[in-house]
Structure 1
Amino acid sequence: MIGVAVLYPKTETSHFDTDYYHAKHMKLVRDLWEPMGLRGARVMHGQTGPDGKAPPYAVITVLEFDSLGAFGKAASAHGGAIMGDIPNFTDVQPVMQFNEIMA
């Protein structure tokens, strides 16, 4: 199992529309990628830590697939539509990291 982490940096001037993200973008992701092997998605919103510092990321989403190949097929088929929706909810470029899920 792999987890594709999509990290949205947070800056003093960045914008992130969480309502749009949950209602529209994540619905789009699920509608297009669940039939292609998306096993689950977890969305985490960054919070101020106990030290009072702002989080480095506004949102981190982890998308779970059985394999890197399964993600590749889904991304090839519908990645353009999903990536093209990003400007509708944020003005930052997300960072992606591929991870092996161990537990």
Structure 2
Amino acid sequence: MIAITVLYPKTATSTFDTTYYHDKHMKLVGDRWGSMGLKGATVLHGVNGPDGAAPPYAVITTLQFESLEAFGKAVQAHGPEVMGDIANFTNVQPVLQFSEIAA
């Protein structure tokens, strides 16, 4: 199993529509990739730390796929639609991290 972590940086000029993200984008991800090896997703919203410091990321989402190959096929089939939707909820480019789930 692998995880694709999608990190949305928080900057002084960044915007992020959490309602759209949850109600539309994550539904789109599930609808398009759910039958293509997507096993689950976790969405984390950054909050200020105990010292009041702003988080470096507005949102961090982890997508669990059965394999890197399954993710590749899902992106090949529906990537333009899913990635094209990003502009509807944020003005930043996400950073992707690919990881093997070890524990």
TM-score calculated relative to the size of structure 2: 0.98
Q: C-alpha offsets along residues 37-70 of structure 1, whole Å, 9 cap, x if unaligned?
A: 1000000000101121100000000000011111
> Mapping of 1:1-103 within 5 angstroms?
1-103=1-103
Structure 2: distance between partners of 1:70 and 1:49: 36
Structure 2: distance between partners of 1:27 and 1:93: 20
| Aligned-residue RMSD, C-alpha | 0.5
Q: C-alpha offsets along residues 4-38 of structure 1, whole Å, 9 cap, x if unaligned?
A: 00000000111000000000000000000001110
Structure 1: distance between partners of 2:63 and 2:76: 16
Structure 1: distance between partners of 2:29 and 2:86: 11
In the alignment, residue 25 of structure 2 is paired with which amino acid?
H
Number of aligned residue pairs: 103
Flag as ranges the 4+ runs of structure 1 deviating above 2 A. none
Structure 1: distance between partners of 2:51 and 2:102: 30
Structure 1: distance between partners of 2:76 and 2:88: 21
